[in-house]
Amino acid sequence: MGGSKWVQSKNSNMKKNTYILFFMLVLLILSCTKDDTILDNGPNPVNGSNDKESGDEADNNTMSTELNFTVVSKDTDLPPRMGQEMIAFKGEYWFMGGETPQATPREGNTYFNDIWKSKDGLAWLKVTDNAPWPKRSNFNLFVFDGSLWIIGGKSKTVKSNDEWLNDVWKSADGIKWTKVAQHGPWQTRLSPAVGVQGGKMYLIGGHSTTNWHLYQDVWESSNGTNWSKVASISDELLGVEMTSQGIYEQSILSLNNEYFMLGGSLASSFLGFTSVLKSTDLKKWELVIRDTPWKDTNYTSLIDIRPFVYKDNLMVIINNEVNGANKSVLYASKDGRDWKLKNELPSFIDGAVSKFGYLHIPRSLVVKDKILVYGSYKKTLANPWLDDKTHIIQLSAKK
């Protein structure tokens, strides 16, 4: 299905050369028979690239869109999780927190505050079982002012009672943590977005059980202790008819001195947020595109979107039903407006075919020139199997 769309979008160009047409058709036929399907091979210009010398202009302004999919054969040392966070920091890679990947009944989930680190994203070492911050999932982990920071999330108090958080922590080395604030002035919440710009951090939106409320406020701080509410994302930008519906689980990506907000869910109906917003200061936002190509996905709760930046491209992994099967697909964009379907991720991990097709809310790290996608299969009524580890899918761009 994705292959035919690709052929149609390129049809006018391929008519110019029958040899290219024949070559591409052969590639498409081969891709349908292999798990490492390639849906788009055409080079895309990279706008505003300044990380190479101008003498290599042809290389600077072209990103190969051929992505070979390989499943890392080495089993990961990481435990099964959902709601954990991963990040690159000071030349190492970090994995923290989260909860048991079980959606039904979620009350039985165990929460964690362990910390793991890695030199290459493949071999992981646990550095602590219990960090000083409370166990949690759906929190924010980001770099600001040379330190790692953690904000908010969801934890568990006694028995099955969940607790929404608004505390702030930081660490200069990823292991020793200092509590910056027990309670921020913003309401307790999980899964807000956090961006950093001009020596300040910005917290946007999130979700709380207080009246089942979702937020669209913007808070600013230069030190994590003192916060000011500086803006709000308008209902018009969110594209909602009812007021104050809010947004959570969205992501903020920085590319070419601009910030893009995408993904997540809206309001108590949890409709997926399928627009893209843009800002230069993380306070004033404008609409880039109302309906992205994944607006009609059957997986309507688009909290599974986990965007990242790779080679001057915004990249989005979408979990969706494709031709009756659950799949993960990869989209890319230079500007947040024009999106191209790049690849379909393999539906197997460590050689075992998964009838459920995709990892739940996958996290990603860019390690050297490779993309490593991490995740576990979520246990649900339809999928009674509780995963026993975090899996890795490796994506490499051809040169």
Q: How far apart are CA 98 and CA 81, in angstroms?
A: 6
Q: How far apart are CA 200 and CA 220, in angstroms?
A: 7
Question: What is the C-alpha radius of gyration for the chain, rounded to an integer number of angstroms?
Answer: 21
- The arithmetic mean of pLDDT across residues 26-38, rounded, is 32
Q: Are 355 and 348 in contact (CB under 8 A)?
A: no
Q: Are 274 and 295 in contact (CB under 8 A)?
A: yes
Q: Give per-residue pLDDT as tens, 298-324.
A: 544 455 677 999 989 999 988 876 666
Query: Is 60 exceeded by the pLDDT of residue 10?
Result: no
pTM confidence score: 0.80
Q: Are 215 and 207 in contact (CB under 8 A)?
A: yes
Closest CA to 160 of 83, 104, 99, 108: 108
Q: Give per-residue pLDDT as tens, 227-277.
A: 999 999 998 999 887 666 789 889 999 999 999 999 888 865 667 888 999
Per the DSSP assignment, residues forming a β-bridge with 161 are: none
Q: Residue 152: its pLDDT value, please?
A: 92
N-to-C CA span, the chain: 27
Sign of CA dihedral 107, 109, 115, 116: negative
Three-class secondary structure of residue 236 per DSSP: helix
Q: Give per-residue pLDDT as tens, 68-121.
A: 777 776 678 899 999 999 999 999 999 999 999 887 666 678 999 999 999 999
Token pair for residue 159?
């028995």
Is pLDDT larger for residue 324 or for residue 278?
278
Is 71-397 a CATH 2.120.10.80 domain? yes
